[in-house]
């Protein structure tokens, strides 16, 4: 009986050390990402608390996850989306952008084969410049200004390109993602 209790305490201590290390490592990147989504510092703090709460609740699965840092980032993005929707600060297009971001991220985190599958999926539905815009915007998280420099065009042109690509993906429907 005492051995089981001792093992349980060791496991809890290990999980606590794991989550504390993860929070210390990921706090700044998560805050930076959330700040890009909204400049509302109070909302960012709320979302970060919600994210770490979910992480603590799911510590067993998270400690075994192949990419806990990616899981934290995706969870924070989803928490922010929910908070923005609750506050009516986010439109349907923004919600769809976050969905695309999560799909692109999950494809690219899965390795080279999935990355190629993503590129093929985008190529089927988008022009090459639109496909590149989606990857640059949602995977590499480039700003519209940075993308304008990359494409050698105006920021307005880049915004239209991304919007057009998202519209095409939305019309193609959820079946385009090969899960």
* pTM assigned to the model: 0.49
CA 148: distance to chain centroid?
22
Spatial separation of the C-alpha atoms in residues 103 and 177, rounded to whole Å:
8
Mean pLDDT of the chain: 78
pLDDT of res. 100: 62
Question: Does 24 score more than 50 pLDDT?
Answer: yes
The pLDDT tens digits for 48-89 are 999 999 888 888 888 888 888 888 988 888 788 777 767 655
The pLDDT tens digits for 117-155 are 777 778 888 888 888 888 778 776 778 888 888 788 899
Spatial separation of the C-alpha atoms in residues 28 and 32, rounded to whole Å:
6
Token pair belonging to 51: 């994210």
Domains and CATH numbers, the chain: 1-90 (no CATH), 91-179 (1.10.10.10)
- Alpha-carbon Rg for the chain, nearest whole angstrom, is 19
Average pLDDT on 95-112 reads 56
């Amino acid at each position: 009986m005492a051995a089981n209790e001792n093992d349980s305490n060791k496991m809890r201590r290990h999980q606590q050390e794991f989550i504390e290390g993860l929070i210390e490592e990921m706090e700044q990147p998560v805050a930076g990402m959330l700040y890009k989504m909204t400049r509302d510092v109070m909302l960012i703090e709320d979302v970060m608390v919600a994210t770490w709460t979910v992480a603590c609740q799911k510590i067993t699965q998270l400690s075994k996850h192949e990419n806990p840092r990616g899981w934290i980032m995706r969870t924070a993005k989803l928490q922010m989306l929910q908070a923005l929707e609750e506050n009516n600060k986010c439109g349907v297009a923004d919600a769809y952008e976050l969905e695309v971001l999560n799909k692109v991220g999950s494809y690219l985190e899965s390795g080279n084969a999935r990355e190629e599958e993503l590129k093929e999926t985008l190529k089927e539905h988008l022009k090459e410049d639109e496909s590149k815009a989606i990857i640059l915007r949602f995977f590499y998280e480039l700003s519209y200004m940075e993308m304008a420099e990359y494409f050698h065009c105006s920021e307005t042109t880049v915004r239209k390109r991304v919007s057009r690509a998202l519209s095409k993906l939305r019309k193609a429907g959820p079946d385009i993602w090969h899960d």
